Structure 1
Amino acid sequence: MKAGRLGLGAEGERVAKAFLQAKGYRILRENYSTPLGEIDLIAREGEVVVFVEVKARTSGEFGPPQSSVTLTKQRQIVKVAGLFLEREGLAEAACRFDVVAVTFGGKRDRPEILLIRDAFCVGGSAVF
């Protein structure tokens, strides 16, 4: 089961990346990893640095994909984002946190994709 989830996650990230690029996002990093955690995608939309968490599921049986972006996960992403901004000399850059929820139905070639812009903020409040 674990390998299936890893495959699903990688496929979700691939789909999310293509989706965001089609919307004009410029991908800066994929799977940015630190001892504090990982961020799936880091992008720029105009002058804004966007930290993207991608969640993928095969159905909505256990709730929508975005429901698994817990407060703990949000806090981890915020910490890793701060480290990225510091390391890249972007501490003063405008940034935001988006979630891309990908639901693969019976046909993996036509997933449902939901972009949630400003999904959560540094203080930990989420819009979903």
Structure 2
Amino acid sequence: MLAFYVDVLGCAVERRRDDIGLVQLRAGRSLIDLVPVDGKLGRAGGAAPGTDGRNLDHLCLRVDPFDGEAILAFLRDSGALPGEIAARYGAEGEGPSIYVADPEGNTVELKGPPAGTTPPDA
């Protein structure tokens, strides 16, 4: 699972706490905590994600610039099975996004800038 977040999504390992079963990944200005369900922290939490339940709907990572076709091609070349590009509402408003599942079935949304905004280099 770590390889998906590092090699496919481009996150960097910032800190590891093997004693409690925690890997912290840097994703831009955000931090993602990966907690294996069989580690010390994981055993204290809920059940692993599955068809009967999960403890997370999805996480969203902002991608800017957002080239949807290039992102889809990269994800597919990496062995992932992304959904289609769709306009979805999020924290910054309506904008393009792609859903992809990590190896354990958690949904990751890759979200572009809101519609009607000017790219930073324009």
TM-score (norm 2): 0.31
Choose 1 or 2 for highest CA Rg. 2
Q: Where is the helix percentage greater, Structure 1 or Structure 2?
A: 1
Q: Structure with the greater relative contact order (CA < 8 A, sep ≥ 6): 1 or 2? A: 1
